[in-house]
Amino acid sequence: MTTLLRLLLKSQHQRNRSGPTQTENGMTLVELLVGAIMAFLIITPMLGFVVDMLNTDRREQVKSNTEQDLQAAADFISQDLSQAIYIYDNNPATISTPTTTPTGIPAIRSQLPPNGTPILVFWKQQPRKNSIPFNPEVAKTVKPKDCDTNPGKCNDTYVLSLVAYYQIQETDSTSIWCQPSGGTCPTRIARYEISDGIRNPDATDPTDPYYSDTDTKDTQQRDAAFNKDFDFSKPTEKVTTGTVFPTPEVLVNYIDHSSNAQTQLPLTECQMALGNPKDQKTEQPLAETALRVTDTEGINSFYACVDTSKNLARVTIRGNSLRRLQPNDTAYNPNKSAFFPTATVQVKGLGAIGK
């Protein structure tokens, strides 16, 4: 018994000499709170800086894309317009008189596609490669549709085409042309082309100067809206058949539709740009309104200055890069003019009948 008691006392004495038990303690609630506040004060400004930097980069990218789209559209129109034979201006005359000659879009508006507003309308010659047999002997066995598989037996030719550039206002906020959806939708520029078909030089019936549909490919046939009786001596008559217009091709979207931007346009821009052209009959300077073709609301985000007598046109397009980012607060603002890039081209049509 005495021995057992001695062992217990010795064990207790050794435990007391080893010191207090070591424990691992975590952070207190106050320390956690202080750390969270410090992290918030440091991270929040950094996060705001990063978000602002990303937004700025996105705006700059969208602005750059809009500028590139507008320039590409202007280059395309310039190349297209360089082949023009006849360009319609905005002359309001619809009936020929001793002092007036119809030369403008108002005189042919009822004959053009109804959707949207025609801004630039002109005639050009469209080449058709390898399309007409050399002579009547070759034509007995080779038809226009066979020319591609019979090299050396067909000639090149051309057909007349009526080209019309339209400004179309999107009204459906869910359309692909109005994204992001909501707010005032942007306008877009669309192109119509109505072409004649390959004419048979050996045709004997003047009322039907074409090859048959069975002898030609679809691209060699006349569009349903093309009027075969059109005559350049009367450029505002029998322009189209007035029906069955082709589907337009969209050239560029996100064209500005801010009504407050129209005040930025000089009142005599067309007169100055075109050298103050005169009416060939009266020798009086043509009015700005007779030269400038614009939308019916006078917004002037896509307009053309046209001198029909010189076959000369100046085209201006203004985009809206803000509309690519947001549906609201996208109206033109002089302080944000960088987001409303403009592209302008001035072209003289070099086309001519038979060339």
What does the pLDDT average to over 125-134? Answer: 89
In angstroms, rounded to a whole number, what is the distance separating the alpha carbons of residues 143 and 150? 10
In angstroms, rounded to a whole number, what is the distance separating the alpha carbons of residues 235 and 87? 10
The answer, yes or no, to whether residue 264 has pLDDT greater than 80, is no
Q: Please report whether residue 235 resides in a domain.
A: yes
Q: Which residues pair with 84 in a beta bridge?
A: 124
Q: Closest Cα partner for 323 from 311, 306, 339?
A: 339
Give percent of the chain above pLDDT 90.
49
Task: Give, in order, the Cα–Cα distances in Å from 268 to each of 184, 271, 290, 343.
Answer: 29, 5, 11, 19
Q: Please report whether residue 272 resides in a domain.
A: yes
- Structure tokens belonging to residue 325: 């980012």
pLDDT at 3: 58
Give the DSSP letter string of 278-307: B-TTT-PBPPHHHHEE--TT---SEEEEEE
pLDDT at 233: 87
Give the DSSP letter string of 29-93: HHHHHHHHHHHHHHHHHHHHHHHHHHHHHHHHHHHHHHHHHHHHHHHHHHHHHTTEEEE-B----
Find out whether 302 and 252 touch, Cβ atoms under 8 Å.
no
Number of domains in the chain: 1
Q: Closest Cα partner for 163 from 244, 240, 56?
A: 240
Q: Please report whether residue 47 resides in a domain.
A: no
What does the pLDDT average to over 333-354? Answer: 86
Find out whether 155 and 108 touch, Cβ atoms under 8 Å.
no
Q: Please report whether residue 11 resides in a domain.
A: no
pLDDT band at 355 (very low <50, low <70, confident <90, very high): very low
- Structure tokens belonging to residue 298: 């006078």
Q: Closest Cα partner for 348 from 88, 127, 83?
A: 83
- Structure tokens belonging to residue 332: 């033109």
In angstroms, rounded to a whole number, what is the distance separating the alpha carbons of residues 116 and 113? 8
Quote the radius of gyration of the chain (alpha carbons, Å): 36
The answer, yes or no, to whether residue 19 has pLDDT greater than 60, is no
- Structure tokens belonging to residue 143: 């038809």
Number of H helices, E strands in the chain: 5, 9
pLDDT at 6: 60
Q: Are strands 187-195 and 154-169 parallel, antiparallel or unpaired?
A: antiparallel
Q: Please report whether residue 135 resides in a domain.
A: no
pLDDT at 151: 85
What does the pLDDT average to over 222-241? Answer: 93
Q: Closest Cα partner for 167 from 126, 124, 112?
A: 112
CA dihedral of residues 89, 93, 95, 99 (deg, nearest 10): -100
The pLDDT tens digits for 305-339 are 999 999 999 999 999 999 998 888 888 888 888 89
Q: Please report whether residue 35 resides in a domain.
A: no
The answer, yes or no, to whether residue 340 has pLDDT greater than 80, is yes
What does the pLDDT average to over 116-120? Answer: 96
Find out whether 178 and 168 touch, Cβ atoms under 8 Å.
no
pLDDT at 303: 95
DSSP state of 161: E
pLDDT band at 24 (very low <50, low <70, confident <90, very high): low
Mapped onto helix, strand or coil, the DSSP state of residue 183 is coil
Comparison of pLDDT for 305 and 42, the residue scoring more: 305
- Least confidently predicted of 38-47, 195-204, 242-251, 311-320: 38-47
The answer, yes or no, to whether residue 8 has pLDDT greater than 60, is no
pLDDT at 53: 66
The pLDDT tens digits for 52-63 are 666 667 778 889
Q: Please report whether residue 308 resides in a domain.
A: yes
The answer, yes or no, to whether residue 101 has pLDDT greater than 90, is no
pLDDT at 337: 87
The answer, yes or no, to whether residue 218 has pLDDT greater than 50, is yes
pLDDT at 134: 86
Degrees to nearest 5, angle at CA 191 with 186 and 197: 165
- Least confidently predicted of 6-15, 22-31, 290-299, 339-348: 6-15
The segment with the largest mean pLDDT, out of 42-56, 64-78, 319-333, is: 64-78
Domain of residue 300: give its range.
55-124+155-348
What does the pLDDT average to over 229-251? Answer: 93
- Structure tokens belonging to residue 276: 């103050």
Q: Please report whether residue 26 resides in a domain.
A: no
In angstroms, rounded to a whole number, what is the distance separating the alpha carbons of residues 22 and 322? 65
pLDDT at 58: 79
pLDDT at 23: 52
The answer, yes or no, to whether residue 105 has pLDDT greater than 90, is yes
CA dihedral of residues 223, 110, 113, 292 (deg, nearest 10): 120
What rounded mean pLDDT belongs to the chain? Answer: 86
